[in-house]
Amino acid sequence: MKQDHQKHIAIFASGKGSNAQAIIDYFKGNESIKVALIVTNNKTAGVIQIAKENRIPFDIVSPKELKDEEMLDMLDVYEIDLIVLAGFLLLIPAFLIQAYPDKIINIHPALLPKHGGKGMYGKHVHEAVLSNKDAETGITIHYVNEHYDEGAYITQIGCHVEPGDNVEALAAKVQKLEHEHYPQEIEKLLS
Ligand code: GRF
């Protein structure tokens, strides 16, 4: 049961979960905002270990289960106010978007509308930045709609692509921005 003033976050993640970890760490001890649930579609995702270590309930959903309206019951049980996608690779179904208007957000490791869309995740994004010879990359935090990476922007933060940067260097720079800014933007949205 949550207190009246408390806001609950559900993090949806498919992979390592470094953003999930950054968000959990940021809100540790916060009485107003709590990570109440982790949802993944990948039973080997690192984020499951993170959930266990932090004693956060988690659920592993199949693509079919994600599309089932029973998802709403689970989100209700945990009294979720905001769904935070952090490297979640499945498309969010329309009924969830309708049930949580402007309450589902995503982070993308590039300056959208560049290098977004289905299949543009992880190193694929940074490879595209390099092959495009972009002078700048960064992060986009945005609302989620029915299309990959197309919802309205909440904020974008850029960083320079330096001569000699490779995929790993870009990934490290961008991830640093993600870990710093995603928790702060979540806090702003919930305050
Ligand atoms: C992040 O780069 C995020 O921008 C993207 O997926 C990646 C997830 O990484 N949407 P992690 O699992 O949080 O480490």
Query: Does ligand 1 lie within 6 Å of residue 107's CB atom?
Result: yes
Is 90 exceeded by the pLDDT of residue 20? Answer: yes
The answer as to whether 149 is a domain residue is yes
160 included as an active-site residue: no
The answer as to whether 98 is a domain residue is yes
> Quick check: pTM over 0.85?
yes
The answer as to whether 40 is a domain residue is yes
Domain of 43, in residue numbers: 7-190
- How many domains does the chain fold into? 1
Ligand 1: centre distance to CA 4 (Å): 31
Reported as a single tens digit per residue, the pLDDT across 69-117 is: 999 999 999 999 999 999 999 999 999 999 999 999 999 999 999 999 9
Q: Residue whose CA is closest, atom 14 of ligand 1?
A: 18
CATH number at residue 38: 3.40.50.170
pLDDT of residue 5: 85
The answer as to whether 46 is a domain residue is yes
Reported as a single tens digit per residue, the pLDDT across 34-60 is: 999 999 999 999 999 999 999 999 999
Reported as a single tens digit per residue, the pLDDT across 6-18 is: 999 999 999 999 9
Q: Residue whose CA is closest, atom 1 of ligand 1?
A: 87
The answer as to whether 72 is a domain residue is yes
The answer as to whether 2 is a domain residue is no
Query: Does ligand 1 lie within 6 Å of residue 87's CB atom?
Result: yes
The three-point CA angle 95-62-74 to 5° equals: 55
Is 90 exceeded by the pLDDT of residue 1? Answer: no
Ligand 1: centre distance to CA 174 (Å): 10
Query: Does ligand 1 lie within 6 Å of residue 17's CB atom?
Result: yes
The answer as to whether 15 is a domain residue is yes
The answer as to whether 1 is a domain residue is no
